[in-house]
Amino acid sequence: MPSDPKETPPAHLELGVVGNGTVAALIDRRGSIVWSCLPTFDADPAFCALLSPRGGGGDWGIELLDLACSGQQYDPNTAVLITRLHDHHGGAIEITDFAPRYRTHGRMFHPVMLVRRVRPLHGSPRVRVLMRPRNRYGAEVPPATGGSNHLRYRLADTTLRLTSDVPVPMIERALPFGLDRAAHFVFGPDETLHESPADFVSLALKRTREYWLDWVRYLSIPYEWQDAVIRAAITLKLCQYEATGAIVAALTTSIPEAPGTERNWDYRYCWLRDAAFTVRALNRLGATRTMESYIRYVFNLIATDRDDEVGPVFGITFERELHERVEPHLAGYRGIGPVRVGNDAWRQRQNDVYGSVVLASAQLFFDRRIEQRGDTRTFERLERMGQLAVRMAEEPDAGLWEFRGRAAVHTYSAAMCWAACDRLAHIATELGLDERARHWHDHAVALRERILAHSWNEHLGHFVDAFGGEHLDASLLLLADIGFVDPMDPRFVATVDAIGTALGRGDYLFRYIAPDDFGTPETSFTICTFWYIEALAATGRRQRAREMFELLLARRNPLGLLSEDLAPASGEHWGNFPQTYSMVGLIQAAMRLSRRWEDAL
């Protein structure tokens, strides 16, 4: 249903995302591009209105005069977004947004380019084009020069050209005009467009639709909740930077985890853990090319014979140092600052990364559909992760929640180090490397015994978050998923029950409730709710799991997307967007809970 655009604030981050593996853009319910970093996911945001630039602007809007209501939807099974705006006089327009992605000349075409088509639907609509990019995180208006049919913008990190069949002065001065025919906009490389904007847009739209329809067609989706899973899968695909294979945790920075908090972080980087979750989810759907590209990214990171520890997060073009700073010219999402660029988590020790890399890579050795399967050389490169896992498993770290003020030997980190050894043993067996299989099997067995001894709290009757600790955190829900314990092990069942009681708030789950460096958490962590749903199903409480899953699906934004966090009282979205963790959780829970195709038909 169309929504009243005057409702403020919206109950959700009511944004859609378009992209092509090189660039991405977030578009609000009025059809304005409010966030896009150009020319890469982690570059200066030319469109930064989402974070309230103090000088105004930072958007690319198609404004319908006398707007009454609006509605949005995706072209089914694609990353093409359609926004319809209606005025008070019976006029209506349709905005089609996409970033071209299709195969041509034997390779994938995915340029630094955003494309828009605006066409009249009813009546006599009048519109204005508001093209208001900013430079240097909102600090400056970029220099712009006009040509006969284009405007050139010198952005902070690139120069891009807007080519259109709308007269240049109408765009340059934001003059209103009657929309009596389709208008086309191509914002891309500073090169001459050798065909009319209408012809280029028409063909690019056709080919981009065909690409996404073909990609979705070969997904191995569950019988139930197909639309939700497909939208989540497409969104995950949009978060992989194709040039290197890196997968970002989210496309934004500094959307706070709760109102009034300083938990504002930059997620436009590749956490090895988060990316591994994404790879495993897409693998379950049969989209294994994401894994192959990501493994190339990781192997480029670890292409050294040194036995140095591996950091938890890197830039999308292999940057190792992501120095954190505050940008003063952006007031923040809904004015909630600070806005941070960079992320000091790169300085941390997070020992689960070794298991994350191995788990993400394991299917490469077993899936016979893959053209270049893992071989002995690939295995030897992965063994470095195992060696580090053995060395670091029982060393204090910041954990997967990235505590900035304390360290401990976290149960989840240690269990993921066990997983690295366990999977290396399986891979070595598959490759016929009997000596290496015994080597890694012995390490896995010994490590598991030590972890069980130190992470089980007999007095409390459940596993705890850290060796010798007394607290719970939601990562313990994954102990069965990674195979560390059987899901029906009484110790795991007791831990699931304790987590539901201690960390649950209605139908939402917190990652932990103990105060951290920034106080007590205020919002639930969405993937943790999905983990709890999966754990309920694994321990025999399938009906309750399905009920919670349906309720969480209802909390998606109108386009089927999720941010990082949800406020339990209101269901309002907080945290960076779209969050790969959350979309991964949706896919995995749906795959576990859905009826099987053979049982349904």
Return the pLDDT at 534. 98
The strand pairing partners of 302, in sequence order, are: none
pLDDT tier, 517 (very low <50, low <70, confident <90, very high otherwise)? confident
C-beta separation of 93 from 252 below 8 A: no
Residue 7 CB burial class (10 angstroms; 0-12, 13-18, ≥19): exposed
The strand pairing partners of 96, in sequence order, are: 82, 117
Written as one letter, the residue type at 397 is: D
C-beta separation of 182 from 117 below 8 A: yes
C-beta separation of 131 from 324 below 8 A: no
Helix ranges (DSSP H) in 485-579: 490-503, 526-538, 542-553
pLDDT tier, 599 (very low <50, low <70, confident <90, very high otherwise)? confident
3-state helix/strand/coil string of 247-296: ECCCCCECCCCCCCCCCCCECCCEEHHHHHHHHHHHHHCCCCHHHHHHHH
**Cis upstream peptide for 167 (omega within 30°):** no
When the pLDDT of each residue in the chain is averaged and rounded to a whole number, the result is 94
pLDDT tier, 520 (very low <50, low <70, confident <90, very high otherwise)? confident
Share of the chain above pLDDT 70, in %: 98
In this predicted structure, the answer to whether residue 485 has a pLDDT above a threshold of 70 is yes
Average pLDDT over every residue of 162-167: 97
pLDDT tens column, 319-377: 999 999 999 999 999 999 999 999 999 999 999 999 999 999 999 999 988 888 999 99
C-beta separation of 110 from 20 below 8 A: yes
- Indicate whether this model's pTM tops 0.85: yes
Q: Give how far the C-alpha of residue 345 lies from the chain's centroid of Cα atoms, to the nearest Å.
A: 17
pLDDT tens column, 84-117: 999 999 999 999 999 999 999 889 999 999 999 9
Give the start-end residues of each E strand in 88-166: 92-98, 102-104, 107-109, 114-122, 126-132, 144-146, 150-154, 159-164
Which tokens sit at 38? 């150009």
**How do 246-247 and 240-241 pair as beta strands?**
antiparallel
pLDDT tens column, 429-447: 999 999 999 999 999 999 9
pLDDT tens column, 444-457: 999 999 999 999 99
In this predicted structure, the answer to whether residue 3 has a pLDDT above a threshold of 80 is no
What does the alpha-carbon distance between residue 177 and residue 284 come to, in Å, rounded to a whole number? 50
The strand pairing partners of 392, in sequence order, are: none
In this predicted structure, the answer to whether residue 21 has a pLDDT above a threshold of 50 is yes
Contacts of residue 416, defined as CB under 8 A and 6 or more positions apart, other chains included, come to: 351, 352, 353, 354, 355, 356, 359, 389, 482
C-beta separation of 472 from 503 below 8 A: yes
pLDDT tens column, 207-222: 999 999 999 999 999 9
In this predicted structure, the answer to whether residue 515 has a pLDDT above a threshold of 80 is no
What does the alpha-carbon distance between residue 53 and residue 166 come to, in Å, rounded to a whole number? 27
What does the alpha-carbon distance between residue 227 and residue 492 come to, in Å, rounded to a whole number? 32
pLDDT tens column, 123-147: 999 999 999 999 999 999 999 999 8
pLDDT tens column, 168-198: 999 999 999 999 999 999 999 999 999 999 9
Return the pLDDT at 12. 72
Return the pLDDT at 518. 73
Q: What are phi and psi of 534, to 5 degrees?
A: -65, -40
Average pLDDT over every residue of 21-43: 98
Contacts of residue 173, defined as CB under 8 A and 6 or more positions apart, other chains included, come to: none
Return the pLDDT at 1. 39
Selection from 166, 154, 174, 153 nearest residue 196 by Cα? 166
* Count of beta carbons in the 10 Å neighbourhood of residue 457: 17
What does the alpha-carbon distance between residue 305 and residue 300 come to, in Å, rounded to a whole number? 12
In this predicted structure, the answer to whether residue 7 has a pLDDT above a threshold of 70 is no
What angle, 0 to 180 degrees and rounded to 10, lies between the N-to-C axes of helices 353-361 and 289-301?
A: 140
What does the alpha-carbon distance between residue 537 and residue 542 come to, in Å, rounded to a whole number? 4
